[in-house]
Amino acid sequence: MKGIARLTMFFALLSTFCSCEKEEMITETELPATSREFIRSHFPNVEISLIIRETEPFSSDYTVYLTNGFEIDFTKSGDWDDVDGKYTAIPESILALLPQGIPEYVKNTPHDCHIVEVNKEHYGYEIELSNGTELKFNSKGEFIRIDD
């Protein structure tokens, strides 16, 4: 019976510990330096309107909202993870960070659209076009598939 009680107590503590997600507004100076530099480099004349730090037991992520409508997600270390233009074209300077095959594929397809979101995924990249089409690429920039 003691074993069951201990096991129950263990799972109760574990679920309490794991559900300790916290979101808080922070200032620009609290962002990792890498994130601040990314924003200055790719959005030099745009102000930050809001920064949210989401803290889980073993990690923190950051979401930055810019006054031009862009939303950028950064990892705990400050590396960009997702850039969402909310139907506005992603700056060329950010597209230049992608494997060369991705912008070339979009340019050479009959979509007649521009890239409005770039999301890093475990397999590579997910790209959203202005017409709502989602394109998947591997980490080398090779096309995988289209998700409409």
Q: DSSP label at 122?
A: S
Over residues 6-47, the pLDDT tens digits come to 555 555 555 555 556 789 998 999 999 999 999 999 999 999
Q: How confident is the model at residue 56 (pLDDT cuts 50, 70, 90)?
A: confident
- Read off the pLDDT of each residue in 57-76 and give the average, rounded to a whole number: 91
pLDDT score, position 112: 77
Backbone angles phi, psi at 101, to 5 degrees: -65, -25
DSSP string of 54-107?
A: EEETTEEEEEEEETTS-EEEE-TTS-EEEEE-TTSPPPHHHHTTS-THHHHHHH
Over residues 68-120, the pLDDT tens digits come to 999 999 999 999 999 999 999 999 999 999 999 999 999 887 767 899 999 99
Q: Specify whether the backbone of 78 is left (phi greater than 0), alpha (psi in -120 to 50) or beta.
A: left
> What's the whole-model pTM score?
0.82
Beta bridge partners of 80: 74
Q: For the chain, list the domains and their CATH numbers.
A: 20-82 (3.40.1420.30), 85-148 (3.40.1420.30)
